[in-house]
């Protein structure tokens, strides 16, 4: 595949992207959360190309992105056969923004994107380039309207999500071109502001149920919709939760093995004579908020490991603020991968609601 990056400030970029999507092609789309691999949600062949490019199972549903509030509500009504009152309140509070709602799907729409389910995940992204493109696609051209874009993260299935256009470029430049388009356009909207995928709320069971944490907290959701937002294990009505993006136990994983560690254990493992440090053949990425407890010289000094090779530390400081940590999380994991880390040791996050999204992504990355 030959990824081609287009700049948003160039006058020809958006029309070119619009044409590609109307013709059933794929596009690397910037959003405020992560970059998506987008296609017309109602073109089954285009959606199939997303699954093929990512290596994603066809029964794993895709989130559909719709235009701003006026267009977003129109798009939501197009794709959904029912919008509960609490879901409407969530749309009004958080759209455009990093919130996905799972709604009952109207028959005959977004069939391939739904992964065989009678529900559909809808989101209204806040990124201005994504909004401009979605609004343009809502205009009727030759009798056709594109109501929404299926757009999972623009990476190979299960891997670290991309937060820059360059990440998308590198993700699809390598590897086999089988079942992939010859050229993939990527619209460069700059680094993603949020940095992790959207919060997902299931609205198909008569009450809001949080399926995936993100930038919109449980408390903020409850305040906006005027009722408690449940966790899946709290709902005992016998109705199974719909499948949703990014909820597999193992996900968001770099090539390096990720280890989550409490601070005392991590600081001990970083010592030059640590058995854990000596057991790793190659570089160790370290991502932590607390001071490492060793000098920069000790970190840079290659240790002769028990495996017979040097175990050098690559220290990266995790922001103290949860929102900034989320913004930089995936980019940091990618950078440590690119630097040749064999393992990435991460300080466990604080156990509070602000860190729930980051904690969720790190937990899934460490399972892989």
pLDDT at 306: 43
**Containing H/E element for 51?**
helix 44-54
Express each pLDDT in 30-79 by its tens digit: 999 999 999 999 999 999 999 999 998 888 899 999 997 665 678 999 99
- The full set of domains in the chain, from first to last, is 2-188 (3.90.870.10), 257-367 (no CATH)
pLDDT at 242: 75
On the question of pLDDT at 307 being above 60, the answer is: no
Query: Both tokens of residue 236?
Result: 């005992």
Indicate the DSSP class of residue 253: B
Residue 25: alpha-carbon gap to chain centroid: 21
In percent, the amount of the chain with pLDDT more than 70 equals 88
For the residues 270-283, what does the mean pLDDT come to? 86
Q: What is the pTM of this model?
A: 0.91
Tell me how far apart the alpha carbons of residues 326 and 287 are, in angstroms, rounded to a whole number. Answer: 13
Express each pLDDT in 106-163 by its tens digit: 999 999 999 889 999 999 999 999 999 999 999 988 888 999 999 999 999 889 999 9
DSSP string of 84-107, one letter each residue:
-HHHHHHHHHH-SSSEEEEEEBPT
Nearest in space to 152 (alpha carbons), one of 276, 48, 256, 273: 48
Query: How many other C-beta atoms can be found within 10 angstroms of the C-beta atom of residue 328?
Result: 19
Instruction: State the number of CA atoms in the 13 A half-sphere of 4 facing the CB.
Output: 12
Query: Coil, strand, or helix at residue 229?
Result: coil
What's the alpha-carbon Rg for the chain, to the nearest Å? 21
Express each pLDDT in 163-215 by its tens digit: 999 999 988 875 555 555 567 999 999 999 999 999 999 999 999 999 999 99
pLDDT at 234: 83
How many residues are listed for the chain in this entry? 368
Three-state DSSP string of 12-69: CHHHHHHHHHHCCCCEEECCCCCCEEEEECCCHHHHHHHHHHHCCCCCCCCEEECCCH
**Hey, which residues does 253 pair with through a beta bridge?**
159
Between the CA of residue 63 and those of 111, 113, 360, what are the distances in Å? 12, 7, 19
């Amino acid at each position: 595949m030959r990824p081609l990056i287009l700049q948003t400030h160039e006058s020809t970029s958006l029309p070119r992207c619009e044409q590609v999507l109307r013709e059933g092609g794929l596009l690397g789309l910037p959003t405020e959360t992560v970059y998506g691999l987008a296609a017309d949600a109602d073109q089954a062949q285009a959606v199939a190309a997303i699954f093929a490019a990512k290596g994603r199972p066809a029964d794993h549903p895709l989130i559909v992105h719709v235009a701003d509030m006026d267009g977003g509500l129109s798009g939501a009504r197009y794709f959904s056969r029912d919008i509960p009152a609490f879901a409407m309140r969530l749309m009004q509070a958080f759209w455009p923004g990093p919130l996905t709602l799972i709604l009952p799907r109207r028959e005959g729409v977004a069939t391939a994107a739904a992964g065989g389910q009678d529900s559909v995940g809808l989101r209204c992204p806040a990124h201005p380039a994504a909004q401009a493109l979605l609004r343009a696609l809502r205009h009727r051209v030759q009798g056709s309207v594109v109501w929404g874009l299926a757009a999972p993260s623009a990476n190979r299935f299960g891997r670290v999500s991309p937060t820059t256009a360059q990440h998308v470029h590198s993700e699809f430049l390598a590897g086999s071109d089988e079942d992939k388009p010859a050229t993939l356009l990527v619209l460069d909207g700059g680094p993603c502001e949020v940095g992790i995928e959207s919060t997902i709320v299931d609205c198909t069971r008569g009450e809001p149920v949080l399926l995936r944490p993100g930038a919109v907290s449980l408390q903020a959701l409850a305040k906006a919709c005027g009722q408690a937002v449940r966790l899946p294990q709290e709902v005992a009505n016998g109705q199974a939760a719909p499948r949703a993006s990014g909820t597999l136990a193992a996900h968001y994983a770099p090539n390096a093995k990720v280890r989550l560690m409490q601070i005392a254990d991590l600081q001990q493992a970083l010592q030059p004579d640590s058995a854990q440090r000596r057991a790793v053949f190659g570089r160790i990425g370290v991502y932590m908020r607390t001071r490492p407890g060793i000098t920069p010289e000790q970190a840079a000094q290659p240790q002769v490991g028990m495996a017979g090779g040097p175990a050098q530390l690559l220290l990266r400081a995790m922001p103290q603020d949860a929102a900034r940590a989320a913004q930089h999380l995936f980019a940091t994991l990618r950078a440590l991968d690119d630097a040749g880390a064999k393992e990435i040791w991460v300080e466990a996050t604080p156990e509070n609601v602000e860190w729930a999204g980051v904690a969720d992504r790190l937990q899934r990355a460490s399972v892989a």
